[in-house]
Chains A and B, each alone.
Chain A
Amino acid sequence: EDQVTQSPEALRLQEGESSSLNCSYTVSGLRGLFWYRQDPGKGPEFLFTLYSAGEEKEKERLKATLTKKESFLHITAPKPEDSATYLCAVLITGNQFYFGTGTSLTVIP
């Protein structure tokens, strides 16, 4: 069964304390993996697309990486404004999307 699992469910960090969020997937025919940020009461905002194992993308304090089984969203020296829920999604053959349930990140000043 195709599945996307994110961990941890919630993460609290001190400002400046780097960490990583995990998105593991068991799907056949991966065509792309996407990371989103979602602020309370708003829709998910697209961050990154990764297409193949070994690929990396960076944006400010965020870096996304991809292996054949999982993706990591690394957050370097986070700030309070990085607090949000981070979602990952996979696109598989047949144009089906599967979303994880997200990691809620809180960065404490």
Chain B
Amino acid sequence: DVKVTQSSRYLVKRTGEKVFLECVQDMDHENMFWYRQDPGLGLRLIYFSYDVKMKEKGDIPEGYSVSREKKERFSLILESASTNQTSMYLCASSHRQRRQPQHFGDGTRLSIL
């Protein structure tokens, strides 16, 4: 079974802090994604990566950055956390060439106070 593991289920941080969310997948997937999910807005793509050290902006990249130093690990960074970044963050991965679905982690519920 595909396993996507996010480092924290719940996280509470303060405004202005630098926040790191970590994601690891064990299926040798090339593609990795970060989404945020808010009530009524669905899943919104923040950043994605098709390969190591490669990144592409999604629909809402402002205030975020990412790092992919190894194929299995994709990190999301909130450079200076703000209250409007309180949300559920979901990491996903998929194969690049095959017509297969994304597989998701269990999410990190992040609260910025």
Q: Interface residues, chain A, CB within 8 Å of chain B?
A: 31-32, 34, 36, 41-46, 49, 51, 87, 89, 91, 95, 97, 99-102
Contacts and interface: CB of A to CB of B under 8 A. Distances in A.
10 contacts: A36-B101, A42-B107, A43-B105, A43-B107, A49-B99, A51-B99, A89-B101, A95-B96, A97-B45, A101-B42
Contact of B101 (A34, A43, A101, A102): A34
Contacts of B100: 32, 49
A31 B101 contact: no
A102 B42 contact: yes
B12 interface: no
Interface string B83-113: 0000000101000100111111111010000
A76 B66 CA distance: 43
Contacts of B50: 95
Closest 3 CB pairs of A and B: A43-B104, A101-B42, A34-B101
Interface string B14-39: 00000000000000000101000000
B40 A43 contact: no
Contact of A95 (B4, B31, B45, B103): B31
